[in-house]
């Protein structure tokens, strides 16, 4: 009788053998380098095939397994973030930021402002499917003040993801924003929100570039003034994150947070092959050190086999760019 069989390259079968040996505690059968290689060299599509192959050979959902143990296991956390679908991962990050205890504004800003609008639209759909809830409504319910209006505006703007960058339009919008900031005793918040709500993240970056070209300084400097109030402070955080995501991440990594290890792991994994080299440069500019050194300080002091693998993967992802 014929049986179904997943036909995958032999390398994925070897990866599964290595991971099964590791998770079974059979450390003598494998080396740290073999485990590190899987999570540094395989892209997301390859890791998806590894998970499928693992399920076929060992009858276990590998992604679910690492998900169950990731809370107190840095290696499992890295493995999970590398293997889960990016849209599902980001939907989970947003959900946890809103309902995981205390509100985590930094993570909300991170996901909403550093993902391309096309990805953000998919993240919203995934959030709706996973949690049977609307992301914009949940955000409105949990956040107050200017951040609520600004972040909801960013989320809504992703509907325009198909629009290509138009520099002529960016110049016009930059002038509109200048008038909204400069023409009266108070800033025109309604006009600012209107402009941002109609432009995807790529177009917003073009507007911010045009603003500096026209007026000799960045828009974020204009909203620092006292007349902009709390709304200006909150708008500045968001637009700086959209314009210079590498500086946003570098700042998060410099802060002494209780969840510093999680921020380090998440930043390296989610920004590898995107802008991790830029983040490393921005971090080094402010600290005189590198992300590789930060990884070693956080995880390299222990002789724990897990930590050796964590250091190997994170450093490998940073160097690989």
Composition of the chain by helix, strand, coil, percent to 5: 75, 0, 25
**What share of the chain in percent tops pLDDT 90?**
81
DSSP state of 163: P
295 is in an annotated binding site: no
Output the CA–CA distances (angstroms, integers) from residue 19 to 25, 103, 287, in the order listed: 10, 35, 36
Tell me the pLDDT tens digit for each residue of 23-74: 988 878 889 999 999 999 999 999 999 999 999 999 999 999 999 999 889 9
- pTM for this structure? 0.92
Nearest to 96 by CA among 313, 279, 259: 259
Query: Is a pLDDT exceeding 60 seen at residue 237?
Result: yes
User: What pLDDT was estimated at residue 278?
Assistant: 97
296 is in an annotated binding site: yes
145: left (phi over 0), alpha (psi -120 to 50) or beta: left
DSSP state of 227: G
As given in the structure block, the two tokens for residue 159 are 């509907």
The answer to whether residues 98 and 142 touch, using CB atoms and an 8 Å cutoff, is: yes
Between CA 119 and CA 122 the distance in angstroms is 5
Between CA 281 and CA 264 the distance in angstroms is 15
User: What pLDDT was estimated at residue 8?
Assistant: 55
Angle (CA) 181-153-143 rounded to 5° is 100
Tell me the pLDDT tens digit for each residue of 81-140: 999 999 999 999 999 999 998 899 999 999 999 999 999 999 999 999 999 999 999 999
Between CA 105 and CA 238 the distance in angstroms is 11
302 falls in which pLDDT band (50, 70, 90)? low
246 is in an annotated binding site: no
Query: Is a pLDDT exceeding 80 seen at residue 226?
Result: no
| Domains by residue range for the chain, with CATH | 10-69 (no CATH), 86-243 (1.10.220.10), 249-320 (1.10.220)
With tokens 């995981």, the residue in question is 100
Q: Where are the beta strands (DSSP E) in 146-270?
A: none
**What share of the chain in percent tops pLDDT 70?**
97
23 is in an annotated binding site: yes
User: What pLDDT was estimated at residue 3?
Assistant: 44
With tokens 């509100």, the residue in question is 103
298 is in an annotated binding site: yes
């Amino acid at each position: 009788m014929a049986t179904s069989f997943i036909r995958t390259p032999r390398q994925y079968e070897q990866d599964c053998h290595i991971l099964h040996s590791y998770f079974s505690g059979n450390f003598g059968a494998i080396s740290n380098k073999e485990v590190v290689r899987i999570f540094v060299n395989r892209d997301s599509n390859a890791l998806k095939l590894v998970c499928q192959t693992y399920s076929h050979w060992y009858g276990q959902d590998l992604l679910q397994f690492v998900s169950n143990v990731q809370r107190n296991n840095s290696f499992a956390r890295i493995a999970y973030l590398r293997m889960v679908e990016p849209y599902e991962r980001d939907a989970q990050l947003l959900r946890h930021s809103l309902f995981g205890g205390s509100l985590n504004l930094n993570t909300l800003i991170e996901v909403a402002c550093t993902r391309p609008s096309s990805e953000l639209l998919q993240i919203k759909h995934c959030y709706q499917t996973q949690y049977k809830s609307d992301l914009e409504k949940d955000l409105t319910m949990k956040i107050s003040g200017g951040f609520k209006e600004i972040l909801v505006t960013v989320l809504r703007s992703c509907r325009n993801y198909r629009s290509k960058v138009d520099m002529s339009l960016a110049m016009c919008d930059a002038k509109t924003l200048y008038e909204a900031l400069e023409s009266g005793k108070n800033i025109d918040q309604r006009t600012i929100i209107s402009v941002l709500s109609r432009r995807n993240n790529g177009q917003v970056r073009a507007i911010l570039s045009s603003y500096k070209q026209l007026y000799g300084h960045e828009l974020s400097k204009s909203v620092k003034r006292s007349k902009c109030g709390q709304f200006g402070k909150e708008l500045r955080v968001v637009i700086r994150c959209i314009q210079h995501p590498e500086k946003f991440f570098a700042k998060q990594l410099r802060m002494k947070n209780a969840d510093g290890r999680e921020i380090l792991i998440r930043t390296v994994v989610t920004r590898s092959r995107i802008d991790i080299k830029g983040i490393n440069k921005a971090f080094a500019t402010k600290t005189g050190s590198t992300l590789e050194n930060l990884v070693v300080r956080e995880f390299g002091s222990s002789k724990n086999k897990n930590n050796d693998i964590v250091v190997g993967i994170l450093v490998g992802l940073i160097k690989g760019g």
